[in-house]
């Protein structure tokens, strides 16, 4: 399609003064003039409110006196074939569409949680770069597929506006994708830095404040770029129907001050991204001394994908600034340079998505990487402590190994093997059972002898073997202990009293021992010699007990008595 002059031409001559021949069809010239139709050099008939094509095969067949047409074609219809701009855009659209698959796969891989979520490092932080990539692809597809109708429309209209609108959205989303990749890399570096020691970095220092305000500043600049471009009168961009209209209307509108300011704001976004990279390297990587070494360190510690993404993002900013000053290279120009539109307008966003997708496949999930680092630190600590981990087959070689058994199930199985319950409770139950059996035997013997069970004779009954083993069978003199006066009646209170006396006799042998045992114990204590003789001297008399009355306040004894002789420090 070539741009026509847009000049008004006289109606071609017909058979008479009220007839005109346009594209081989006779039309009533009087009716055309009554409805203010004019014939233009671009082969259209228009009255400033309705426009029809006036060339084969789209020319109308007849016009009624009321101004209606037969078989007319509106000027704003896709009547042309696909051109270079539409064909290349279709190829770019297919590539952008195929990138949906790796982006969604990376979102699934890197967005999945393998560790509990932390308030300091939220899971959505690692997903935002893929969300922005999805928005970039969506905006690019809409822009490229509506770009097909830019070539097919005879006169520029809505497809041109949709193409340019979503092209600007695509550029903003591509810059946001790079920003989120850089911001999240700094967050990932911080997470690795604080994982061994959560208190190594403060949460209210200058570093933390910068990391809080920098994202807000970036998105402020990004939304300023959006509001400087999007809310405007886009209809004037459509005025590209003839050269003079392009010069007077379309070009000034496409290169006004708002587009230029939007380009500067986008450059501010790129500078914010560069500052974020420098900030992360400064705080979470090794520090170098000297300006030259620091400059080298920035490129040494920066990931390789950022060495590619940063220049490409800068190219997006540069091309948008170029379009704000040179209308010939802008996508807003229907007849602009195709090479500039696709190389500078769509290729950088496509490269950003490809680099992000490839790097996403090469990098592991962050939670898995963090677990691997923790295992390495644990192995290093065990090596320093001299602990050797058993191989994997060691546990399987054990006799009690059960595959896929949880620790809870293993503890329950061990409890079932030991019988369950407390060990002391089990032994006491054994003792009670033994005593119950002995009491039952005594009651049966008393009944056979004709004695009253309740008031029967109480005789010492030896403990059962289990109780003897538990409480100790041998006393201090090498003699076997017995529980005296074991109760054989039915009174629970008396049975409890007898049991208490029996236990007290075992714990304190001298309290309830028989006379013979008590005499033997006394003889043993006297083996060291007789007790000391009583004191006869008043001077040697020991200190009076606390209960005796003290006469230290009597002045007679203190004056007439002999002076006190101190023999040791104990007498003071």
Q: Give residues with Cβ within 8 angstroms of 258, minimum separation 6.
A: 228, 229, 232
Cα pseudo-dihedral 87, 90, 94, 99, rounded to 10: 110
Q: Spell out the long-range contacts of 558-565 with Cβ–Cβ below 8 A and sequence spacing 24 or more.
A: 565/539
pLDDT digits (tens, 9 = 90+) for 3-59: 445 678 888 887 888 888 888 888 888 888 888 888 888 888 888 888 888 888 888
φ, ψ at 416 (rounded to 5°): -65, -35
Q: What local confidence, expressed as pLDDT, does residue 536 receive?
A: 52
pLDDT digits (tens, 9 = 90+) for 460-496: 444 444 444 444 444 444 444 444 455 566 677 777 7
**Alpha carbons 178 and 341: distance in angstroms, whole number:** 21
The predicted model gives 162-180 an average pLDDT of: 95
Average pLDDT, the chain: 80
CB 88 within 8 A of CB 143: no
The predicted model gives 353-367 an average pLDDT of: 94
- Tell me which residue of 57, 34, 44 sits closest to 9, measured CA to CA: 44
Q: Spell out the long-range contacts of 56-61 with Cβ–Cβ below 8 A and sequence spacing 24 or more.
A: 56/23, 56/24, 59/22, 59/23, 59/24, 59/25, 60/25, 60/27, 61/25
**Alpha carbons 475 and 512: distance in angstroms, whole number:** 14
Q: Say yes or no to pLDDT of 140 above 90.
A: yes
Q: What local confidence, expressed as pLDDT, does residue 383 receive?
A: 85
pLDDT digits (tens, 9 = 90+) for 388-424: 877 877 777 776 777 778 888 888 887 777 765 555 5
Least reliable range by pLDDT among 4-13, 211-220, 278-287, 342-351: 4-13
pLDDT digits (tens, 9 = 90+) for 271-327: 999 999 999 988 888 777 767 777 777 777 888 999 999 999 999 999 999 999 999
- Give Cα separations from 292 to 85, 285, 300, 302, 308 (angstroms): 47, 16, 12, 16, 22
Return the percentage of the chain with pLDDT > 90, whole number. 33
Q: What local confidence, expressed as pLDDT, does residue 61 receive?
A: 86
**Alpha carbons 431 and 437: distance in angstroms, whole number:** 10
**Alpha carbons 67 and 45: distance in angstroms, whole number:** 12
- Give Cα separations from 28 to 35, 51, 64, 69 (angstroms): 11, 17, 9, 11
**Alpha carbons 54 and 43: distance in angstroms, whole number:** 5
- Tell me which residue of 60, 94, 88 sits closest to 75, measured CA to CA: 60
Q: Say yes or no to pLDDT of 341 above 90.
A: yes
DSSP state of 197: -
pLDDT digits (tens, 9 = 90+) for 418-438: 765 555 555 556 666 777 787
C-alpha 498 chain-centroid distance: 67
Q: What local confidence, expressed as pLDDT, does residue 2 receive?
A: 39
- Tell me which residue of 184, 134, 177 sits closest to 352, measured CA to CA: 177
Highest mean pLDDT among 84-93, 406-415, 557-566: 84-93
Asked if residue 391 has a cis previous peptide bond (ω within 30° of 0), the answer is no
The predicted model gives 524-540 an average pLDDT of: 58
Token digits of residue 451: 């004695």
> For the CA atoms of the chain, what is the radius of gyration?
52
Q: Give residues with Cβ within 8 angstroms of 455, minimum separation 6.
A: none
Question: 18 vs 541, which has greater pLDDT?
Answer: 18
With cut-offs at 50, 70 and 90, classify the pLDDT of residue 62. confident
Token digits of residue 410: 């293993």
Q: What local confidence, expressed as pLDDT, does residue 89 receive?
A: 92
Q: Say yes or no to pLDDT of 557 above 90.
A: no
Q: What local confidence, expressed as pLDDT, does residue 547 receive?
A: 47
Q: Say yes or no to pLDDT of 180 above 50.
A: yes
C-alpha 358 chain-centroid distance: 23
**Alpha carbons 25 and 43: distance in angstroms, whole number:** 13
Q: Say yes or no to pLDDT of 266 above 70.
A: yes
Q: Which domains does the chain have, with CATH numbers?
A: 8-70 (no CATH), 84-375 (1.20.1070), 423-512 (no CATH)
Token digits of residue 509: 């042998």
The angle at the Cα of 220, spanning 217 to 223, to the nearest 5 degrees, equals 150
Token digits of residue 103: 């982006």
Q: What local confidence, expressed as pLDDT, does residue 483 receive?
A: 43
With cut-offs at 50, 70 and 90, classify the pLDDT of residue 60. confident
The strand pair at 51-53 and 44-46 is best described as: antiparallel
Q: Say yes or no to pLDDT of 451 above 60.
A: no
The angle at the Cα of 239, spanning 245 to 343, to the nearest 5 degrees, equals 105
Q: Tell me if the pTM is above 0.95.
A: no
- Tell me which residue of 332, 328, 314 sits closest to 258, measured CA to CA: 332
The residues pairing with 40 across neighbouring beta strands, listed in sequence order, are: 8, 44
């Amino acid at each position: 399609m070539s741009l026509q002059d847009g000049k008004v031409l006289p109606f071609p001559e017909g058979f008479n003064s009220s007839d005109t021949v346009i594209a081989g069809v006779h039309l009533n010239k009087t009716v055309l003039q009554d409805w203010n139709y004019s014939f233009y050099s671009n082969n259209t008939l228009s009255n400033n409110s309705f426009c029809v094509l006036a060339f084969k095969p789209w020319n109308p067949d007849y016009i009624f006196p009321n101004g209606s047409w037969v078989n007319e074609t509106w000027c704003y219809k896709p009547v042309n074939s696909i051109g270079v701009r539409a064909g290349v855009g279709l190829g770019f659209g297919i590539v952008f569409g195929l990138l949906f698959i790796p982006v969604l796969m990376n979102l699934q891989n890197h967005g999945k949680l393998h560790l509990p979520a932390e308030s300091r490092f939220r899971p959505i932080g690692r997903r935002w770069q893929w969300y922005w990539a999805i928005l970039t692809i969506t905006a690019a597809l809409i822009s490229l597929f509506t770009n097909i109708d830019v070539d097919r429309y005879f006169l520029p209209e809505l497809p041109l506006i949709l193409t340019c609108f979503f092209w600007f959205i695509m550029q903003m989303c591509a810059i946001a994708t790079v920003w989120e990749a850089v911001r999240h890399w700094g967050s990932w570096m911080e997470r690795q830095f604080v994982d061994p020691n959560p208190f190594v970095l403060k949460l209210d220092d200058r570093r933390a404040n910068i990391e809080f305000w920098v994202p807000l500043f970036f998105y402020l600049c990004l939304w300023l770029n959006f509001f400087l471009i999007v809310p405007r009168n886009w209809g004037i961009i459509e005025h590209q129907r003839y050269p003079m209209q392009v010069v007077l209307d379309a070009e000034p509108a496409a290169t006004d001050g708002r587009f230029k300011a939007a380009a500067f704001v986008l450059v501010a976004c790129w500078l914010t991204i560069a500052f974020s990279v420098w900030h992360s390297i400064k705080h979470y990587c090794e520090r170098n001394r000297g300006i030259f070494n620091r400059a080298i360190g920035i490129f040494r510690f920066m990931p390789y994908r950022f060495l590619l993404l940063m220049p490409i993002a800068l190219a997006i900013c540069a091309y948008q600034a170029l379009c704000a000053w040179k209308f010939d290279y802008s996508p807003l120009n229907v007849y602009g340079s195709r090479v500039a539109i696709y190389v500078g307008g769509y290729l950088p966003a496509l490269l950003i998505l490809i680099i992000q997708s490839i790097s996403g496949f090469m990098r592991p999930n962050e939670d898995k990487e963090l677990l691997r680092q923790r295992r390495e630190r644990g192995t290093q600590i065990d090596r320093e402590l001299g602990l050797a981990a058993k191989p994997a087959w060691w546990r399987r070689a054990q006799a009690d190994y059960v595959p896929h058994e949880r620790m809870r199930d293993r503890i329950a199985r061990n409890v079932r093997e030991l019988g369950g319950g407390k060990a002391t409770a089990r032994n006491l139950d054994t003792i009670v059972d033994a005593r119950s059996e002995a009491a039952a035997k005594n009651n049966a013997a008393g009944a056979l002898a004709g004695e009253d069970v309740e008031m029967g004779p109480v005789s010492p009954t030896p403990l059962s073997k289990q109780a003897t083993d538990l409480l100790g069978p041998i006393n201090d003199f090498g003699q076997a202990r017995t529980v005296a006066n074991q109760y054989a009646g039915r009174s629970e209170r008396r049975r409890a009293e007898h049991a208490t006396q029996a236990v007290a006799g075992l714990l304190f042998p001298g309290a309830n021992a028989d006379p013979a045992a008590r005499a033997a114990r006394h003889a043993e204590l006297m083996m060291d010699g007789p007790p000391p003789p009583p004191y006869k001297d008043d001077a040697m008399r020991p200190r009076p007990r606390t209960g005796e009355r003290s006469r230290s306040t009597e002045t007679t004894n203190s004056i007439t008595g002999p002076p006190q002789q101190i023999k040791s420090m104990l007498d003071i």
